[in-house]
Amino acid sequence: MKKWFWLLGLIVFLSSGCVKENQLTTTAGTEGLIEVELLTVIDGDTIKVKYNGKTETIRYLLIDTPEVRHQTLGNQPLGDEASSRNKQLLEDATVSLEFDVGDRYDDFGRLLAYVYADGESVQQVLLQEGLARVAYVFAPNTRHLDSFEEAETIARQADLNIWQYEQ
């Protein structure tokens, strides 16, 4: 009898919306780009889009940009510039997502993806321009890690933007 109550409780919990169904799963990844509607740019590595008929917060895979309006860090050097550049890249572009093979959502409920503007990797551009660093590397979401690390190395060696501060 206890098993039935436990199972019933689990079913009620899962169907209650406390946990998004697709947060429990991983994806097989995508090789192609999935076009989405850009709603807003939050900062240098986070945006809101319309995907599959829902508003989703997208967290860029494999990069980190300086913080803006952070609760404890405040505004970090070049945070506003990274946010502005992200917005500039996406504003009048066709925005697309690419998923990797690992978890689809992070611990904050944000959809994890590679982001493209007119087919060009936004992460790659931010790294090349020294407005992002490679970070939050969690296998198996590492499809573009090698090229991202190369772009970061070039920006670091040239002391571009954030690399003037982080040595």
Catalytic, 110? Answer yes
50 vs 34, 57, 106, 118, 133, CA distance in Å?
11, 9, 18, 17, 27
pLDDT at 76 (0 to 100):
80
pLDDT at 88 (0 to 100):
98
Parts of the chain with a pLDDT under 50: 1-27
pTM, full prediction: 0.81
CB 88 within 8 A of CB 125: no
pLDDT at 22 (0 to 100):
42
CB 112 within 8 A of CB 118: no
d(C-alpha 34, C-alpha 104), whole Å: 14
Among 72, 68, 79, 93, CA closest to 132: 79
Q: Which of 104, 110, 133, 143 is catalytic?
A: 110
CB 86 within 8 A of CB 45: yes
